[in-house]
């Protein structure tokens, strides 16, 4: 990336911002369309389809959701792109060990090569077919992750059985131990697809992003549900890493002067990028409605937790102008140093600096609102 930065600086200095903008456009387009294919597999009835839907921010009844049922509903490997990031595709794979998909031929039949990693799901302890599949995936040089589903049902049943003697932590540890008997040195993630913020889903998300190469990690981070404050912070860092490129891009197109602030920036660039921020943090209208429904929290309560006018509203030129020309926006724009401040070309440093500061300010606003909404949905104290 350092080499790319130097190339961009050289282009701005020697050939102008337009050529630098063209190079950056290519980079951002490539990054936005990096394919990430995730194979979701397991035995029939393990909850694969519900997990796919939950990861994509959908209920089982929503349009575009993977079909679910008490019998095997997946007869072929079926792709389900993320609603907001079409390059990230969750593949709902047929249950392993069925007549059409015997364990010894399973990987070949589902097209093993195209997947970046596999998630093996079970609603009970992992069985022989799961173990064989894991060993074969490992032998072929790819990663897999064991997910024990329907943990909320398991905990509820155990609580009913043990009554006053019930201890949730002991129960969860027992489930972990029983889940992977016979599987050496493998972590199992306990997950409720109905309530993702409970149990180990946040650990699964953090583990997946840690294990992936940098370019794939960026793609996954933008679609991981906000199930922990750490995930929200990681999203912010990932989005922040691209701000300097958007700033240079804005200097290479027709800029709009905002004389009140003595700035020059392209508002269309801000509208586009801030809209992506809003969706990535789950602060657009549809995402907030889904969260209110799944968390059983009134939508108005979630909206009341937000302090930024960017959250929950349509990102428009008028809204961006209003924020930039307000005292709040003006103060926020002074917080961040410019990335290319030393480039000695009249007019360009102002455009780059202005957009850099504006995007950092808007990103911070939305990240803080995402934290507030997350804690409100969980009934916790607001951290920011």
State how beta strands 88-92 and 78-81 pair.
antiparallel
Q: What integer pLDDT is reported at residue 332 of this predicted model?
A: 43
Ranges under pLDDT 50 in the chain: 253-264, 327-347, 382-384
Q: What integer pLDDT is reported at residue 289 of this predicted model?
A: 86
Report the 3 state secondary structure along 315-381: CCHHHHHHHHCCHHHHHHCCCCCCCCCCCCCCCHHHHHHHHHHHHHHHHHHHHHHHHHHHHHHCCCC
Instruction: Write down the domain spans for the chain.
Output: 2-31+233-377, 34-224
Q: What integer pLDDT is reported at residue 138 of this predicted model?
A: 84
Smallest CA-to-CA distance from 249 within 15, 28, 96 is with 28
CA 348/CA 72 separation, integer angstroms: 59
- 8 A C-beta contact, residue 244 and residue 334: no
DSSP string, 67-90: P--SS----S-EEEE-SS-TTEEE
CA 105/CA 330 separation, integer angstroms: 62
* Element (DSSP H or E) covering residue 119: strand 117-122
CA 246 to centroid of chain Cα atoms: 20
The residue whose two tokens read 């009913």 is: 160
CA 151/CA 305 separation, integer angstroms: 30
- Exposed / middle / buried, residue 298 (Cβ in 10 Å: 0-12, 13-18, 19+): exposed
Confidence (pTM): 0.81
CATH topology of domain 34-224: Rossmann fold (3.40.50)
State how beta strands 143-148 and 188-190 pair.
parallel
CA 85/CA 38 separation, integer angstroms: 13
* Element (DSSP H or E) covering residue 143: strand 143-148
CA 347/CA 342 separation, integer angstroms: 12
Q: What integer pLDDT is reported at residue 121 of this predicted model?
A: 92
């Amino acid at each position: 990336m350092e080499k790319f930065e130097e190339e961009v600086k050289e282009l701005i200095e020697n050939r102008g911002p337009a050529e630098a903008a063209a190079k950056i456009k290519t980079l951002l387009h490539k990054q936005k369309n990096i394919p990430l294919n995730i194979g979701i597999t397991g035995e029939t009835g393990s909850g694969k389809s519900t997990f796919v839907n939950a990861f994509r921010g959908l209920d089982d009844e929503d349009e575009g959701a993977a079909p679910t049922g008490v019998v095997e509903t997946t007869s072929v490997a079926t792709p389900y792109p993320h609603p907001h990031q079409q390059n990230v595709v969750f593949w709902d794979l047929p249950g392993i060990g069925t007549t059409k998909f015997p364990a010894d031929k399973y990987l070949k039949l589902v097209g093993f090569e195209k997947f970046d990693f596999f998630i093996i799901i079970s609603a009970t302890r992992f069985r022989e077919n799961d173990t064989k599949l894991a060993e074969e995936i490992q032998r072929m040089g790819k990663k897999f992750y064991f997910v024990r589903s329907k943990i909320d049902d398991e905990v509820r049943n155990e609580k009913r059985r043990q009554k006053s003697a019930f201890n949730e932590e002991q129960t969860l540890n027992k489930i972990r131990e029983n889940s992977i008997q016979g599987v050496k040195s493998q972590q199992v993630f306990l997950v409720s697809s109905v309530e993702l913020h409970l149990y180990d889903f946040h650990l699964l998300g953090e583990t997946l992003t840690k294990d992936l190469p940098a370019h794939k990690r960026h793609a996954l981070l933008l679609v991981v549900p906000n199930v922990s404050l750490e995930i929200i912070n990681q999203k912010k860092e990932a989005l922040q890493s691209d701000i300097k490129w958007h700033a240079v891009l804005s200097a290479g197109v027709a800029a709009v002067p905002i004389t009140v602030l003595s700035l020059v920036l392209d508002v269309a660039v801000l509208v586009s990028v801030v809209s992506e921020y809003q969706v990535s943090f789950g602060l657009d209208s549809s995402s907030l409605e889904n969260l209110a429904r799944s968390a059983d929290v009134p939508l108005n309560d979630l909206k009341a937790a937000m302090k930024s006018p960017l959250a929950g509203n349509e990102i428009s030129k008028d809204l961006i102008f209003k924020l930039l020309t307000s005292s709040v926006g003006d103060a926020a724009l002074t917080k961040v140093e410019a990335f290319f401040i030393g480039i000695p070309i009249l007019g360009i440093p102002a455009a780059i600096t202005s957009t850099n500061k504006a995007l950092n300010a808007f990103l911070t606003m939305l990240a803080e609102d995402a934290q507030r909404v997350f804690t409100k949905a969980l009934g916790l104290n607001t951290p920011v």
